[in-house]
């Protein structure tokens, strides 16, 4: 049975698609991974297209963009044929996102270090709690230090909001790897972005074990 991870956050541009692609690419090396893109913008589909077109094929990732009334059936199918399923969702809580949260073994909610990102995350945190699904904030694009990062981390602590301890920095490596149809662990395995992603993966694996 596959572990299902849903990446959701109402605010746009917080790193949902980047996170889905990078987790899938890292896991594809040694397990059966599927991506499920429920976002009509289809940027994950395009990343997957770039990946499939690479002359030296990287480890395969199954891909589906089934949405709407066929989503539940597709999830049932993927659950039995894959080891891990990563669901990317649009920047809104729609019916598909609700279903994807309900099906998840873990919900990840990326936030950039800004209060509006954190406020926007509240809806997803509440929905995951209502569905009794484990949920964690992922602080993304964080500067190494600074007042804003401190303010946001303090607000997370003050609200006792669930979060992953590891943080992804603001690193061009994420966009560079994405443009190649790769994850950072493939494009620059010794880079800082790959190191951060691996620490994030260790935490996630602990949670879905
Ligand atoms: N850790 C990071 N460091 C630098 N750039 C990042 C990082 N994470 C994401 N980005 C960049 O931020 C932009 C938005 O990321 P992404 O498309 O993953 O967000 P999203 O939440 O999926 O957006 P949308 O809500 O529109 O679907 C992209 O240009 C991406 O390359
Ligand atoms: Mg996206």
Compute the average pLDDT of residues 9-38. 97
- 11, 13, 141, best to mutate for ligand 1 pocket (most atoms within 8 Å of CB): 13
CA distances (Å), origin 3, targets 40, 81, 84, 122, 173: 24, 11, 5, 24, 27
Ligand 1 closest atom vs CA 172: 4
CA-CA distance, 16 to 111, in Å (whole number)? 9
For the domain spanning 3-208, the CATH number is 3.40.50.300
pLDDT digits (tens, 9 = 90+) for 169-181: 999 999 999 999 9
Kind plus residue range of the DSSP H or E element containing 98:
helix 95-103
Distance 12 CA to ligand 2 centre (A): 7
Nearest CA to ligand 1 atom 31: 175
Q: Is 141 in the pocket of ligand 1 (CB under 6 A)?
A: yes
- Residues having C-beta closer than 5 Å to ion ligand 2: 16-17
pLDDT digits (tens, 9 = 90+) for 9-19: 999 999 999 99
Share of residues in the chain with pLDDT > 70 (%): 100
């Amino acid at each position: 049975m596959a572990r299902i991870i849903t990446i959701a956050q109402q605010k746009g541009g917080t790193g949902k698609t980047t996170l889905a692609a990078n987790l899938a690419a890292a896991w594809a090396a040694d397990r059966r991974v599927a991506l499920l893109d429920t976002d009509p913008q289809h940027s994950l589909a395009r990343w997957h297209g770039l990946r499939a077109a690479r002359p030296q094929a990287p480890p395969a990732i199954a891909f589906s963009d089934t949405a709407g009334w066929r989503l539940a059936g597709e999830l049932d199918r993927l659950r039995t044929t894959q080891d891990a399923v990563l669901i990317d969702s649009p920047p809104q809580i729609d019916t598909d996102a609700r279903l994807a949260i309900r099906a998840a073994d873990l919900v990840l909610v990326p936030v950039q270090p800004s209060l509006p990102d954190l406020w926007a995350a509240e809806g997803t945190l509440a929905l995951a709690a209502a569905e009794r699904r484990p949920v964690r904030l992922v602080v993304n694009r964080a500067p190494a230090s600074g007042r804003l990062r401190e303010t946001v981390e303090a607000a997370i602590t003050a609200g006792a909001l669930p979060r992953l301890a590891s943080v992804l920095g603001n690193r061009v490596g994420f966009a560079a790897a994405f443009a190649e149809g790769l994850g950072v662990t493939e494009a620059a395995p010794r880079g800082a972005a790959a190191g951060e992603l691996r620490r994030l993966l260790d935490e996630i694996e602990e949670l879905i074990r």
